[in-house]
Structure 1
């Protein structure tokens, strides 16, 4: 395992912009900030430093990331609580901690693969070294990338490569994978990278970057059900957001950003039927968009942190309550433990 100090292993994307957007909602006593994708804790550390009245709840499905972030944030004492869970039910996480399930003052989601997962070569996320084809964010559960490569048929492999990797050569790659595994199953990334070098045309490699980039992205999204989890997580997070609370989302893939855009724009749009002569209170927008469209990292940040090149930031603020928000009277799913609360085993 990499022994580099945690703060030196990860440069948080759009750090100052995220904190600037969240801080106005986190200045009051009792403010609750939820980092739904804690990673190595860089964003949460900055929020806790900037907002001394706030308490932070950090959620991550990766036990290794959660342990590193908890160590990093130990200096904040009981102002930080780490939770091992998938980020798809923030209201239940809050309720399990004895907090208002619709009382989050700030929410942050930094989607996609983390620096930790990319840098730990034995996790299988990176294609620059021959490593076990795992790619699970939580290595304690679920199928691996090798299971997908060795078990899916040509049609399903083509689908995930095309949809999740936006790979132009999805079908020839899928066929080559099936042919290759008939003689020897995939276990490590080296043979897969070699296959992709052979199948993806040289002209495309020159103009489109490393031939494994899109296939590895597609496998990672499939293994971790990232788009399904994010669609559920966004809906749940918006239910957990208190009036005046703010949500910030960093997306790195067009499909993730599309889910984010639709969820936030829906909340910021009147639901009144077009033929209704007036807008009832329950039809009024309940979200205010905080940025115009999606913001990107500037050239200076991209030069310093290449992983920020594809980021898209969106943000909103809740302006009123809605009928789908949970209440304190609703039962929780589990009882938290004082040391390290866990809500449920991530799916």
Structure 2
């Protein structure tokens, strides 16, 4: 596995995901989750002089990696085959139109939160540190996790915890938070943990708290809506025979990816033509998800939950 930009992020399923793109040397490709640049570096290494790669990331920390990469990977800043786009990947169609790109040969997405974000004590993504409840991928805009906890109604909070964290005690969690914020605002991860730890069974506490933080992060960044928009945009942009290679880490995003690849829509509604044949813009390359090897698991336990799905645009 490749560590890039001073161990900003360890690329998961690197070889498998890039192999899945079946890269053409002169093709046009998009890495919608640039991060530390590991997957992008591998794609560029397989492109010829007329190929091009667009790298998307909305986080300013990722953009800094363009100039902070080691000598081994510093070509990102100067390679005219690479274009960095600081934007949420949900706007991929708009940006490709801006760059006069009518179609792409492949798109790669590593949907997991970067290890950099979990290790940054100031961002609020991890409950390992007492930090401000921010959780925004793009620190320039949008509500923070603290804004949500202190301003959403009890019903809205319960919905977020249940839908995005799949927490069975979502209503109780929401009730406790609403009651506590009447005395003082909930502004830090430490405050949130202190309020909620007694609501989780001791043997499942870490897992349940992880789900709680996941739910807040998804709501803060509108992750499910962005994923749907990106995938539908990819379906339109891919040329016939173009590949979509997506790594997921939890059931919510994996369900959407699977549905789009199988049916062409996030809901999984299968449409048929007059003759009863399934109408879908993509067909699956791997019917079973690709998981990390034992060797990769030993080097990076985070890859344990990673699932890779690959699909091809129908001719």
Q: State the TM-score, normalizing by the size of structure 1.
A: 0.81
Other-structure match for 1:90 = 92
8 Å contact 1:7–1:42 — kept in the other structure? no
Q: Please state whether the residue corresponding to 1:66 is helix, strand or coil.
A: helix
Aligned equivalents of 1:262, 1:14: Cα separation in 2: 21
Q: CA deviation at 1:165?
A: 0.8
Aligned equivalents of 1:71, 1:107: Cα separation in 2: 25
8 Å contact 2:108–2:244 — kept in the other structure? yes
- Residue 294 to residue 105, structure 1, CA distance change in 2 (3 Å): same
Matched, 1:35 2:31: yes
Q: Please state whether the residue corresponding to 1:125 is helix, strand or coil.
A: coil
Q: Please state whether the residue corresponding to 2:291 is helix, strand or coil.
A: coil
| Matched residues, number | 304
Other-structure match for 1:122 = 122
Select the structure with the greater relative contact order (CA < 8 A; seq sep ≥ 6).
1
Matched, 1:302 2:297: yes
Q: Please state whether the residue corresponding to 1:105 is helix, strand or coil.
A: strand
8 Å contact 1:65–1:116 — kept in the other structure? no
Aligned equivalents of 2:210, 2:219: Cα separation in 1: 15
Q: CA deviation at 1:211?
A: 4.2
Q: Displaced runs of 4+ in structure 1, greater than 4 A?
A: 267-271
Q: CA deviation at 1:69?
A: 4.1
Other-structure match for 1:151 = 151
Q: CA deviation at 1:92?
A: 2.0
Q: Which of these residues, 296, 299, 307, is aligned with residue 312 of structure 1?
A: 307
Q: Which of these residues, 246, 249, 257, is aligned with residue 246 of structure 2?
A: 249
Q: CA deviation at 1:179?
A: 1.6
Aligned equivalents of 2:114, 2:187: Cα separation in 1: 22
Q: CA deviation at 1:140?
A: 0.5
- Residue 5 to residue 74, structure 1, CA distance change in 2 (3 Å): closer
Q: Please state whether the residue corresponding to 1:258 is helix, strand or coil.
A: helix
Q: CA deviation at 1:144?
A: 0.3
Aligned equivalents of 2:48, 2:121: Cα separation in 1: 37
**1:172-215 alpha-carbon deviations (Å, 9 max, x no partner):** 2111111211111011111111222222122433xxx3542111
Aligned equivalents of 1:66, 1:58: Cα separation in 2: 10
Q: CA deviation at 1:91?
A: 2.5
8 Å contact 2:262–2:280 — kept in the other structure? no
Q: State the TM-score, normalizing by the size of structure 2.
A: 0.89
- Residue 270 to residue 117, structure 1, CA distance change in 2 (3 Å): closer
8 Å contact 1:234–1:263 — kept in the other structure? yes
Please show how residues 262-277 of structure 1 align to structure 2 within 5 Å: 262-267=259-264, 271-273=271-273, 276-277=274-275
Aligned-CA RMSD value: 2.2
Aligned equivalents of 1:6, 1:236: Cα separation in 2: 29
Q: Please state whether the residue corresponding to 1:26 is helix, strand or coil.
A: coil
- Residue 285 to residue 145, structure 1, CA distance change in 2 (3 Å): closer
**Structure 1: unaligned runs, 5 residues or longer:** 321-347
Q: Which of these residues, 284, 289, 292, is aligned with residue 289 of structure 1?
A: 284
Please show how residues 157-168 of structure 1 align to structure 2 within 5 Å: 157-168=157-168
8 Å contact 1:89–1:237 — kept in the other structure? no
